[in-house]
Amino acid sequence: MCITILVAATLQVEKGVENLWKQGPSAGMMPYPNFAQYIPKNYFKVFLRGLPYLWAEEKYWYIPKEDLPWDFIKPFVKDFNEKRTEILRVLYLMLDELMSGWRPKTSKTGGLPNISHEPRKPVPLGTMLRNAVECITGIFVHQDIVECSTSQWKKEYLDPPVKSHMPKGENINYHVRIMLVLVFIFLDHFRCSHHHCTTSN
């Protein structure tokens, strides 16, 4: 039931758990969804709190949430990316980014491992994700959490090899790394699509 509501919530104009559990006329054209008819709001909040732990290693179960590193949620992101590669057939990819807005109130990062600041975003402060989008449908096919600068430089294609594999031995900067990731995402989807065609024939 909670998974069904989680999916159904993405189709609603009203956002946020509080609004989704209201009933009666809203400020828009559609009434409030009144998800309370299906499940109590506090049950759903407990579900949301525990959902990420289904992918997390046990060592993170007992750490206060404000001390959790990004490694806590990375298995979920990895699984998300792998499943999208398996089920989606992609011909055109576009590099994009999104910002999950978060404004700290009582600490520097508001309980997150780090926060990003991007002035050109409508919501400039929060958790940024670099992603690849399938151009025809607009579906996200890959997500990559933007971590602190130290962790970012340790990611694939950035951690400097003993000998650079670039044509002239150039250093791989951050923007080149993003493009390399995009290329390999496309190749992964292309291989899956080709495999699907050849095996189904």
Buried b (16+ CB within 10 A) or exposed e, 56-78: beeebeeeeeeebebebbeebbe
- DSSP secondary structure code for residue 70 in this structure: G
Distance CA 152, CA 134 (A): 24
- Summarize pLDDT for 48-82 with one digit per residue, the tens: 989 989 999 999 999 998 899 999 999 999 999 88
> What pLDDT shows up at residue 158?
63
The answer for residues whose C-beta is within 8 angstroms of residue 72's C-beta and 6 or more apart is: 52, 56, 60, 63
Per the listing, tokens 């499943």 go with 83
Torsion of CA 31, 37, 38, 41, to 10 degrees: 80
pLDDT band of 13, cuts 50, 70, 90: confident
> What pLDDT shows up at residue 93?
78
- For the chain, percent of residues with pLDDT exceeding 90: 19
- Summarize pLDDT for 19-52 with one digit per residue, the tens: 899 989 888 888 899 999 999 999 999 999 899 8
Identify any residues that bridge with 196 across adjacent strands, giving them in sequence order: none
- For the chain, percent of residues with pLDDT exceeding 70: 80
- Summarize pLDDT for 84-99 with one digit per residue, the tens: 888 887 778 787 888 8
> What pLDDT shows up at residue 59?
93
pLDDT band of 141, cuts 50, 70, 90: confident
Of 75, 51, 74, nearest to 2 (Cα)? 51
20 neighbors 35 (Cβ within 8 angstroms): yes
43 neighbors 114 (Cβ within 8 angstroms): no
Does the pLDDT of residue 198 top 60, yes or no?
no
CA distances from 168 to 99, 172, 183, 198 (A): 35, 11, 19, 37
> What pLDDT shows up at residue 101?
86
- Domain coordinates in residue numbering, the chain: 2-53, 77-200
> What pLDDT shows up at residue 193?
54
> What pLDDT shows up at residue 103?
80
> What pLDDT shows up at residue 175?
63
Task: Give the highest mean pLDDT range of 3-17, 54-68, 177-191.
Answer: 54-68
Mean pLDDT of the chain: 81
Greatest C-alpha distance within the chain: 65
